[in-house]
Amino acid sequence: EVQLVESGGGLVQPGGSLRLSCAASGFTFSSSAMSWVRQAPGKGLEWVSAISGGSDYIYYADPVKGRFTISRDNSKNTLYLQMRSLRAEDTAVYWCAKEDRSVYSMDVWGLGTTVIVSS
């Protein structure tokens, strides 16, 4: 079964850091581009970052550029999102998603992990 399981969310103070993880199973992780997508309370979906299978290509949304770092460990089938200098506006549910680059869409999503940035 194809599965993505996020972890690492929680409550953090403004300016703090957090690292999210996404454990993948059931597909060839190393061949798959992956994305992080978030949804703030009451808001729409917002793409955050993407990484190619071999980490050759990495992209960030402007609001997180310079603060977030996406990475992956293909030996562990795990995707990461290191978040620094967190702001209240980063409060959201964060999902990792597998990209199907043959059809340019996100065909598998995890259940999500919640990040709350508050003092």
Partner 1 sequence: DIVVTQSPDSLAVSLGERATINCKSSQSVLYSSNNKNYLAWYQQRPGQPPKLLIYWASTRQSGVPDRFSGSGSGTDFTLTISSLQAEDVAVYHCQQYYNTPPTFGQGTKLEIK
Which residues would be at the binding site for partner 1 (CB under 8 A)? Answer: 35, 37, 43-47, 50, 59, 61-62, 95, 100, 103-107, 109-112
User: Shortest Cβ distance from residue 117 to partner 1 (Å)?
Assistant: 21
Q: Are 48 and 60 in contact (CB under 8 A)?
A: yes
Residue 44, exposed/middle/buried by CB under 10 A (0-12, 13-18, 19+)?
exposed
Q: List all residues 6 or more positions away from 10 whose beta carbon is below 8 Å from its beta carbon.
A: 18, 114, 115, 116
User: Shortest Cβ distance from residue 45 to partner 1 (Å)?
Assistant: 4
Nearer CB in complex with partner 1: 73/100: 100
Nearer CB in complex with partner 1: 6/80: 6
